[in-house]
Amino acid sequence: MQTETRRLTGWGRTAPSVADVVDVPGPASSEHDSALDPDQWLEAAASAAPSRGIIARGLGRAYGDPAQNGGGTVVQLRPSANPVWIDTEAHTATVDAGVSLDELLRRIVAHGYFVPVTPGTRFVTVGGAIASDIHGKNHHADLSFGQHVTAFELLLASGEIRTVTSASDPDLWWATLGGMGLTGVIVRATVRLLPVETSRCLVRTQRLDRFDSLLAEMEDGDDQYRYSVAWVDLTATGRRFGRSVLQQGDHATLADLDAHDAKALRDPRAFDPGALATVPPMPNVMNRVAVRAFNELWFRKAPRDHVGLETLTGFFHPLDGVRDWNRFYGAAGFLQYQFVGPFDAVDTRRTITERVVADGNASVISVLKRFGAESGGMLSFPKPGWTLTFDLAAGVASLPTLLAELDAMVIAAGGRHYLAKDAHTTPEVIAAGYPRLDEWKAVRRSVDPDGRWASDQARRLALL
């Protein structure tokens, strides 16, 4: 165990704070049930700054400050020597919380499995996936990550490691899925895996010139595919407003490989992604000209309507090929704004999108997706409706006004904001978006009466 004072930010590289980071190594032994010894590090961590609390941090991919804890303690759980246990009969994996989806995929794809839900990057941990109750391109079909977790082990403020299931302790279960790590430290989880025949996806890609045609295409077509997501050009104005590339797909079967790329049959479960490049520290290059040029190119290179095979990496994690891509935004960093608005708030969806386009500062690759049902997590983000995600360079002068207006429009429409992305909003906006916040706080207090768990985000948004 190692403690180091470090300055931490989220992936957006904004609002830093300094904390004692405790690196907790996984046990070296291969005993399945000899997890970490909580007494050992919990006491050390808590004695350092008892008033500032502790938060777990995975790979630091949340955009804002949920995995920071200024003046307090941040723990990073390293996976043990045998961090993944696959049960091929139940189709589940029991995984140490510090294991990344990258690591998990490298171990399961060869056995014919895929993770039940993946975000746009493989570099998140299983613990973080549960704490943020993450979603992916299959939310309309498979809901969020928590839906596929059958049990997790949670280190409670009392020092007890409790195995929690939705039946054994429903309050704690639903408070922890999406609970941003504030109910305890997730140390291990059992996750249902998705059997797949190949490591390819069969994807239909369509280039759509208009926002309305995109919406119609998604409403009509999404149900026929497990995965669906649209990449919208929020820098396009006038006649080009809402032009987009829609991708809908499924895991390819062996028959699909045979039909589209027989060579792939030689190694149908090949999966060994590497990084193409690492971005060095640089000033912000995401200016309007560069962003517009990128969007123009990317739109034009997309096929009008095409069905073909894509690798898992190419389809799910295209940005992972470029390490540290957040450095493109320079020292000032960036924000990723993500909200969901209900299906019936049609006017608001258009007004908000138009407002972002009019502002002109949205960056490359904005994402539109239709969500399925709520998961039941008290602070889980997804709910039925449309979710729009876009990046904004943090240094832009019009940003405070734009975000304040957007926040108000989202809340007025009955929508809400994703805590894993949030880096700017207010306690009022979060309280309005999450009607079960008080219920969650009550559960949290019952398992953490002395306020042992805390984060910068929790203090900023008055979650505690």
Binding region for other proteins (CB under 8 A): 5, 7, 12, 14-19, 49, 52, 64-65, 69-72, 333, 335, 394, 399-400, 403-404, 407, 423-426, 428, 456, 459-460
| DSSP string of 25-94, one letter each residue | PPPSS--TT----HHHHHHHHHHH-TTT-EEE-SSS-SSSSTT--TTSEEEEEPP-SS-EEEETTTTEEE
Residue 333 CB partners (closer than 8 Å, separation 6+): 9, 12, 13, 14, 326, 394
Whose Cβ is closer to other proteins: residue 101's or residue 335's?
335
Distance in angstroms between the alpha carbons of the first and the last residue of the chain: 28
Q: Least separation, in Å, of the C-beta of 62 and other proteins? A: 12
Alpha-carbon span 197 to 255, nearest angstrom: 9
Least spacing, CB of residue 43 vs other proteins, in Å = 20
CA atoms of 363 and 328, how far apart (whole Å): 11
Please give the Cα distance from 432 to 412 (Å, whole number): 9
Q: Write down the least CB distance from residue 390 to other proteins, Å.
A: 15
Question: Please, what is the minimum distance in Å from the beta carbon of residue 70 to other proteins?
Answer: 3
* Closest CB 379 distance from other proteins, rounded Å: 19
Is the Cβ of residue 213 or residue 426 nearer to other proteins in the bound state? 426
Given the complex with other proteins, which of 191 and 403 has the nearer CB atom? 403
**CB nearer other proteins, residue 107 or residue 459:** 459
**Rg of the chain over all Cα atoms, to the nearest angstrom:** 22
The residue (of 14 and 118) whose beta carbon lies closer to other proteins is 14
Between residues 18 and 290, which has the closer beta carbon with respect to other proteins? 18
Q: Positive or negative, the Cα torsion across 350, 351, 355, 356?
A: negative
Nearer to other proteins, 12 or 116 (CB): 12
Beta carbon of residue 421, minimum distance to other proteins (angstroms, whole number): 11
Asked if 323 contacts 278 with a C-beta cutoff of 8 angstroms, the reply is: yes
Nearest approach in angstroms of CB 310 to other proteins is: 33
Helix axis angle, 399-412 to 346-359, nearest 10°? 180
